Amino acid sequence: MAHGGAGAGPERLANVERAVAIAAGILDSGGSAIEAAVEACVVLEDDPVFNAGTGSVFRTDGSVHLDASIQTSEGKMGFVIGMQDTPNPIRVAADLLDEEINGLSGDGARLWADSKGFERSNVQGRPPFEGATDTVGVVARDKSGLIVCATSTGGTSNRPPGRVGDVPLPGCGFWVQDGVGVGATGIGEAITRGMISLRVADRILDGNGLEESMMWALDECLEEDAEVGIIALGTEGTGHGVSNSTNMPWASWIARK
């Protein structure tokens, strides 16, 4: 399943559905949840209507800094923080899944990407726009039962270049372990203070339903007026998404057996 950000608006549902269709095709053909999550996330990064990858917003100094993360239910993780000149930071994050290190930031992340042959090109950026706090995210489960969450963002408008939101922080913008995958979107500081993704995952693993667990987090783990959306996927069935606004586009699928 995938989302397009807590404030992106329902008119962007078709854009999210295109990413879901890419992932569904990969899963239906026997591909892995890692491949499906990454490629769906790339579709969203390449879509200029979202604040991720090519559609990312300017920081206060006019720069564009990108974050991305990926985690698997096997216990692997990769994340990048504050990258520049990287249209698809999720690909760099995924390259860390089999490395001894989990995360890279800033110039070091870009140098790593150069050494691995990942595209370096200027991300033009754009002025602040409605919904500019949004991330994009994907949670996928393959036929082996592997669950993967991939997220990506251009950060938040009118924030300094060194600001770090929830997307690359484990337990905040994402959390995956055996049995569940969760991704969050919206006001990054509120998501981080509430450790939203980890708390939702724990509640699901305690035997509560996906929707109930996410609604609990929105009601109990956030300060008032913080716009946040969550998606979650368990070991079987479809995923689900909720938001405390009406603006989060999300879509889900089940791969055919």
> What is the structure's pLDDT at 250?
96
Model pLDDT, residue 257: 43
Residue 257 lies in a domain: no
**Running DSSP on this structure, what letter comes out for residue 107?**
H
The residue from 54, 72, 133, 135 that is catalytic is 135
8 A C-beta contact, residue 94 and residue 86: no
Would you call 135 a catalytic residue per the annotation? yes
Tens of pLDDT along 175-220? 999 999 999 999 999 999 999 999 999 999 999 999 999 999 999 9
Domain ranges, residue 178: 2-251
Q: Establish if 76 belongs to a structural domain.
A: yes
According to DSSP, residue 82 is labeled: E
CATH of the domain at 23: 3.60.20.30
Q: What is the pLDDT of residue 256?
A: 46
pLDDT of residue 129: 58
Q: Report yes or no on 256 lying in a domain.
A: no
Query: Which residues of the chain fall short of a pLDDT of 50?
Result: 131, 256-257
Q: Give the model's pLDDT for residue 130.
A: 52
Looking at residue 158, its pLDDT comes to 77
Closest CA to 87 of 62, 134, 50: 50
Residue 110 lies in a domain: yes
3-class SS shares of the chain: helix, strand, coil, % to 5: 30, 25, 45
Phi and psi at residue 197, in whole multiples of 5°?
-65, -40
Q: What's the predicted TM-score (pTM) here?
A: 0.95
Domain count, the chain: 1
Instruction: Read off the pLDDT of residues 14-34 as tens digits, 9 standing for 90 and up.
Output: 999 999 999 999 999 999 999
Query: CA 127 → CA 21, 79, 131, 146, 153, distances in Å?
Result: 30, 25, 12, 38, 15
Is residue 175 domain-resident?
yes
Task: Evaluate whether residue 162 is within a structural domain.
Answer: yes
67: in domain: yes
